[in-house]
Structure 1
Amino acid sequence: MSDGMISSFSWSFLMADESRPAEPMPVPVDESHILATYANFCRVTGTPEELIVDFGLNKQVAGTSPDTIQLTQRIIDNFFTAKRLAAALAMAVARHEQAFGMLETDVQRRIIHQPQGPRA
């Protein structure tokens, strides 16, 4: 790569001389209009050019009748940004698991069954 700027999330690398390692440069970020939303459900779809990720809240408790999941946020990325996001998320999850233990995504494996007492 010749002289150019590559940006990736919260920092970028200036590749002026390929023989010298890239030094991280801070990227100015304006968070004054950021919206924070909780989601426990996501749906991933896409087109040949873009990846579409919808987020929402699943209020359903395991074993109950299914409620409609209301989608509240949509992120549309190109696949280059999506790949960088996937790598960043994988690193964040790996760090979390290293500190706190493996995350089990199968709800049935996370349930702790309590022994039932004698019936009267």
Structure 2
Amino acid sequence: MVKKQTAGRQQLGDLAPQFAALNDDVLFGEVWAKTDELSARDRSLITCAALIAQGLFPQLKAHLKMAQANGVTQTEIVALVTQLAFYTGWPKAWSAFDLVKQTYGQA
């Protein structure tokens, strides 16, 4: 089961309450919670790949922590980043590896 998400309300609740509610209730409350189609672990791998591909490293940092909590191993995330390096760009992989090291205690 996916942990109840409150980051939207905590960070944007006063500024953008509708966006915060969509983030917490729809994205995480409905889509991420639908584990009969994809596990939280698989969703984490997919999300990390998409964020790396776009170079969205502030969001990647949070999602790497979530991936680790969802059972994605360091070996698996290293393989993911290595694979993506050839498709999304070498500099993005370097940047992602810095966050992987921080998340998995290698920094």
TM-score range (shorter-chain normalised) is: under 0.3
- What TM-score results when the alignment is normalised by the length of structure 1? 0.22
Higher relative contact order (CA 8 A, sep 6+): 2
- What TM-score results when the alignment is normalised by the length of structure 2? 0.24
Larger helix share, 1 or 2: 2
Larger strand share, 1 or 2: 1
> Radius of gyration: which is bigger?
1
